[in-house]
Amino acid sequence: MREAAFFCTIFPGLYHFAYRAWEFSLDNRKKNVLESLSNRHKGEWHTAYIALGSNMGDRKEHLRRALKLLDSSQFCRVEKISPIYETEPYGNVEQDRFLNGAAKIETLLSPGQLMDTLLRIEGELKRERTIHWGPRTIDLDIIFYDDIISSDPHIILPHPGVHERLFVLKPLCDIAPLILHPVLKESCCRLALSLEGKQEEPTLYEEAIEPEK
């Protein structure tokens, strides 16, 4: 060690070169560790269920376009789409009837990133948030994301109102009848049955809807 120090005092340029080489080696090791951690999460697809609704303009076209925008993302793929139902508006705001549906998707996005994606799609379809529970061109909500339970204000999981809304549960039952609510530990179909007779039964509007080509 003393010999190396003495050698570097005689050839200071060599010392600087050796130090930079050591820094470069350290940076590469750090980079390799980060790449290793990142690669662990690449290709991990997660299952999410999305509720869709529209009661302004061409309602069916808004649903179709929302599905197309979601499916065209390299980080999401639409796996199943429910029939479309016509329903009374939820809440105490007088407005037109809704078309509602649900979709099962696979995604590489985290819950927060997926929520941001849905908000961006709502923006592209001119969604305006002026009245709570008011009319809207499109409404997109994450109902379930795997079996995650989250109280994050940006994305609460599962959706806090799903068990109280037949217009959400009805189409969800068509594509995932046995999926369990991760908090209530009840299937969607059982939750829907508990609301029958208490809320208006959604009316079948169309058997199937495909994303816009």
| pLDDT at site 153 | 87
Q: If we measure between CA atoms, which residue out of 140, 171, 145 comes closest to residue 158?
A: 145
pTM over 0.85: no
User: Which residues are the active-site residues?
Assistant: 127, 136, 139, 141
DSSP assignments along 16-77, one per residue: HHHHHHHHHHHHHHHHHHHHHHHHHHTT--EEEEEEEEE-SSSHHHHHHHHHHHHHTSTTEE
Distances (CA, A) of 196 to 22, 76, 119: 70, 33, 31
pLDDT reported for residue 93 = 63
Residue that the structure tokens 């340029």 belong to: 13
Per-residue confidence in pLDDT tens, the chain, 213 aa: 444 444 445 555 544 544 455 454 545 544 443 343 333 345 699 999 999 999 888 999 999 999 999 999 999 999 999 999 998 886 566 668 899 999 999 999 999 999 999 999 999 887 555 555 557 789 999 999 999 999 998 899 999 999 999 999 999 999 999 999 999 999 999 999 999 999 999 999 988 777 665
Cis peptide before 158 (omega within 30 of 0): yes
H-run or E-run covering 5: helix 2-10
Measured CA angle at 130 (ends 126, 135), to 5 deg: 65
How far CA 177 is from CA of 37, 82, 115, 118, 167, in Å, comes to 36, 11, 24, 24, 14
pLDDT at 130: 55
Q: For residue 59, give the amino acid letter.
A: R
Q: Is 126 left (phi over 0), alpha (psi -120 to 50) or beta?
A: left
Query: For 191, what's the count of Cα atoms within 13 Å in the CB-facing half-sphere?
Result: 26
Task: For residue 187, list its beta bridge partners.
Answer: 180
* Domain segments of the chain as ranges: 2-41, 46-206
Residues in the chain: 213
Class of domain 46-206 (CATH, top level) = alpha beta
Measuring CA to CA, how many Å separate 64 from each of 36, 78, 209? 39, 12, 7
How high is the pLDDT of residue 96?
83
HSE of 202 in the Cβ direction (CA atoms, 13 Å)?
Answer: 28
